[in-house]
Chains A and B, each alone.
Chain A
Amino acid sequence: VKAAVTAYDVHGVVLEVEAPPEVAAVVDARLLAFRGATRPADVAVTYRRGRTLAPPGEKGRPVYDRRGAQVLWFEDAGTLVLDDPAVRAVCRPAAGTLDVDLLADDGATLWLATHGVLTLCLLEILRHRGRYGVHAGSVVLDGTVVLLPGTSGSGKTTLALALAAAGCPLLGDDTAFVDAEATTVLGFPDEVDVTAGTVALLPALAAHLPGRPPPGWPKWPVRPELLGATPAGLTGPPRVLVFPRVSRRMAPRPRPLDRDEALLALVPDVLLTAPDVVAGHLAALAALVGAVPSYALDTGTDLAAAAAAVLAVLPAPAMVP
């Protein structure tokens, strides 16, 4: 079976992905919004079946805990290694390579290789090129970007989908990027990964979904265009940060956060790899919390009300020169 090669331009960083067809199809579904490139590749992403990569050496520093998987940073080699029983990945972010071995043939392995591993390495590759990740959902309002940062399980996907249902085009449900000065948010509208909990809160979504996710997948992949209007562009200036938190309160309640609280809430998602890159990431996040106001929001169970609460805290749009 011949490997497929497809190019993607992710905000000016061109990836060339070579993978067995069934893997390439999943990656392509995620990166559809970025498909096609007019420049030579900056980054070579290669998926293979079977063990081709050497085990990581001794001198790695653990930088990320993931159930069963170890993520190590090798400072001298500038290499990020993910070592899981089913997937081994070696990423050289500065050099621009990501190699992934799939060591099992089941759905969970395919999911890990094309979601967790790809996202983690893509974030590292992009921040080595001045695009700094924010673990956040994002929607567009009047050409500006509402960011919804939060760790897994905080409700950012659900709130992003509620805002999409309220008419704000979805720019991404889990990941966004900012430039070094945080003047521009770069969207990442890949497939939206939806949990059963989100489906329960957004019954209209259930009509689009099969009874269960693909075998071995923890969530349902949903094309963003099924969830409301698509954005006209993939970038925009930041407008506000709203940190959602799942709660049982009926009524949503926004609370202003100062810049210090907002930065501290963003820092846990910064991967501690190359010191100069981490310093640049911190500076970009500090610029972001300095540029726009931040709020915490107990989202409650009435999502239309939560979406309305987000829109109600919005400051007036920035003057466009």
Chain B
Amino acid sequence: VTGDGDRLRPRDRVLAQRAAEAVVLLDLDAGTYFSLDEVGARVWELCDGTRRAADVVALIQEEYDAPPEVVAADVLALLGELTGERLLVAAP
């Protein structure tokens, strides 16, 4: 489980493949796969071990033309799902 202050990165043994806008994630250990839409794919890309959740929210708020509070709620919900599924983990 990750805390607010953690920098987030993909867990080892999670593979990501972009097609066009979307990204497909494959969890080799669980044998499951997920699909992220365009914004989700951008969130995934930003979680490269250098950023905290708040940094990702701020960047998405800058990049997308939607009410900041809506973006924040959506991005935090997505990060909650991705960390809940252990697709993202805290960077060391």
Chain A residues with CB under 8 Å of chain B are: 61-63, 258-260, 262-264, 267-268, 270, 272, 275, 278-279, 282-283, 285-286, 289-290
Contact = CB atoms under 8 A, between A and B. Distances in A.
17 contacts: A62-B31, A258-B20, A260-B19, A260-B20, A260-B35, A267-B26, A272-B28, A272-B31, A275-B15, A278-B15, A278-B26, A278-B28, A279-B17, A282-B26, A283-B17, A286-B18, A289-B19
A270 B26 contact: yes
Interface of B: 13, 15, 17-22, 24, 26, 28-29, 31, 33, 35
A286 B26 contact: no
Query: Chain A binding site: helix, strand, loop or mixed by DSSP?
Result: helix
Nearest to A290: B19
Contact of B33 (A61, A63, A268): A268
A263 B36 CA distance: 12
B31 to A, nearest CB: 6
Contacts of B17: 263, 279, 282-283, 285-286
B15 A282 contact: yes
B13 A275 contact: yes
B13 to A, nearest CB: 6
Given A270-B26, A282-B24, A264 B35 contact: yes
Contacts of A61: 28-29, 31
A292 to B, nearest CB: 13
Nearest to B15: A279
Nearest to B23: A260
Contacts of A259: 19-20
Contacts of A290: 19-20
Contacts of B29: 61
Contacts of A263: 17, 19, 22, 24
Contacts of B24: 263-264, 267, 282
A289 B19 CA distance: 8
